[in-house]
């Protein structure tokens, strides 16, 4: 199911590359994926950058803002839900290694730990849950998420722009010299999974 959603998002992004609001569309997807906690946004970002290399900086800035906003929404929701609901809704979460690591880091380093988690490939939801329960400043949380996402997305986008051939084996673009169409793109994407 998630793979089908990811393929659908790739097709939407691929069909919207000529629109002027393309970076805003990508940012909207970043916001939705962050709030839904369903699919990591990084693959969507890389595809968007490969499709519109000339607008990679806009894509990174707007996607970082959108993802940080989504993280702040999650922080606020988790803050008002409280421990009892979270433990009831996610009983296995408290036992997971990601939860244990995130709680230890956030307890020791506060928003700095959240910045590191946001900048790394680690899942940020456990860190956000613990951050929300430990009542850190919403402004500090947003700033940490924004800086972390900017570093992470900036690095991914820079790598995609600088070394596109490596990424294009996973995300083929509509470059006329390559003569790929949507059907062959989907087939290639299905094989890489």
Q: Is-contact 127 111, C-beta < 8 A?
A: no
Q: 3-state class of 38 per DSSP?
A: coil
Mean pLDDT for the chain?
A: 81
Q: Tell me the longest C-alpha to C-alpha distance in the chain.
A: 57
| Res 139 pLDDT > 90 | yes
Q: Is-contact 93 55, C-beta < 8 A?
A: no
State both tokens at 131.
Answer: 């951050």
Boundaries of every domain in the chain: 2-192
Question: Mean of the pLDDT values across residues 63-85?
Answer: 88
pTM: 0.77
Question: Mean of the pLDDT values across residues 1-17?
Answer: 77
Question: Mean of the pLDDT values across residues 3-7?
Answer: 75
Q: How far apart are CA 184 and CA 38, in angstroms?
A: 26
Q: State the Cα torsion 112-117-120-123 to the nearest 10°.
A: -170
Residue where the block lists tokens 């949507």: 182
**Of residues 166 and 47, more confidently modeled:** 47
Q: Is-contact 99 122, C-beta < 8 A?
A: no
Question: Mean of the pLDDT values across residues 108-127?
Answer: 86
| Res 90 pLDDT > 80 | no
Q: How far apart are CA 24 and CA 37, in angstroms?
A: 20
């Amino acid at each position: 199911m998630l793979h089908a959603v990811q393929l659908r998002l790739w097709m939407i992004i691929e069909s919207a590359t000529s629109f002027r609001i393309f970076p805003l569309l990508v940012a909207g997807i970043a916001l939705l994926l962050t709030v839904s906690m369903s699919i990591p946004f990084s693959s969507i970002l890389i595809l968007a950058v490969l499709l519109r290399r000339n607008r990679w900086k806009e894509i990174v800035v707007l996607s970082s803002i959108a993802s940080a906003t989504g993280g702040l929404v999650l922080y606020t929701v988790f803050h008002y839900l409280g421990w009892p609901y979270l433990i009831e809704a996610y009983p296995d979460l408290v036992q997971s290694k990601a939860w244990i690591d995130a709680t230890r880091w956030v307890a020791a380093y506060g928003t700095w730990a959240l910045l590191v988690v946001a900048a790394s490939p680690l899942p940020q939801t456990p860190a956000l849950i613990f951050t929300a329960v430990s009542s850190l400043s919403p402004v500090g949380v947003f700033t940490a998420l924004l800086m972390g996402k900017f570093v992470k997305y900036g690095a991914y986008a820079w790598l995609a722009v600088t070394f596109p051939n490596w990424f294009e084996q996973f995300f083929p673009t509509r470059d006329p010299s390559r003569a790929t169409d949507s059907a062959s793109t989907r087939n290639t994407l299905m094989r890489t999974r």
